[in-house]
Amino acid sequence: MVCGGFTCSKNALCSLNVVYMLVGLLLIGVAAWGKGFGIVSSIHIIGGVIAVGVFLLLISIVGLIGALNHHQVMLFFYMVILFLVFLFQFGVSCSCLAINKGQQVKLLSATWALMSNDTRLGVENKLNCCGLLNNNQSKEQFNEDVKLCNAPCKHGGECFNCGDLMLQHAAEALKILGAVGLFFSFTEILGVWLAARYRNQKDPRANPSAFL
């Protein structure tokens, strides 16, 4: 059987969806682990990561069942949804790679403003810092955060700003996330191409008169 045949396309599509399933389970597991150990205290962040993991897991299950059964309808919806996921993920990945430090500061400040006091205190305790950024635009908010801060550094000496600590690694983290997201987005295009090719191939075990 040549690699371009029915069996090869089926096995390749099944293998790709198994990888998607493992990635989805990994996202769910990491999010649950982070919440359990208090690494991330925001329920919105945890919920978003778990939602992406569950969605990817469900899509991979649909693709796997469609590939095993050569189900035309399931493969069609799998192709459409996976292509939409590719467009979204490709856009987000490019944004991660293109964002500069000024935009990082604005994004960080906007996210910090949306956090509750309990979430801010949790971040400060975890990073051992107080306040976000001590600049003219957020001076009042910074002073208020420092007053409420109960991080260990406040009792033992000078505290760093949480924003400075985050920005030190933000550029590297965004590059890694963008590169990984871009890589997986192209695997999704491969999945769409494989599904389209496999969907139009004839099953050699099927009745020839039952396939158009």
| CB contact at 8 A, 166 and 197 | no
Q: How far is CA 198 from CA 31, 69, 143, 209, in A?
A: 34, 11, 61, 19
Report the pLDDT value the prediction gives residue 106, as an integer from 0 to 100: 79
Report the pLDDT value the prediction gives residue 206, as an integer from 0 to 100: 59
Mean pLDDT by 10 residues, the chain (212 residues): 68 88 78 53 55 82 87 88 84 77 77 78 80 72 79 76 75 72 81 85 62 44
Shortest CA distance to 179 belongs to which of 66, 105, 90, 118? 90
- The dihedrals phi and psi of 178, each to the nearest 5 degrees, come to -65, -45
Report the pLDDT value the prediction gives residue 136, as an integer from 0 to 100: 63
For the whole prediction, is pTM greater than 0.75?
A: no
C-alpha angle 134-150-33 in degrees, rounded to nearest 5: 100
Report the pLDDT value the prediction gives residue 48, as an integer from 0 to 100: 60
| CB contact at 8 A, 24 and 51 | no
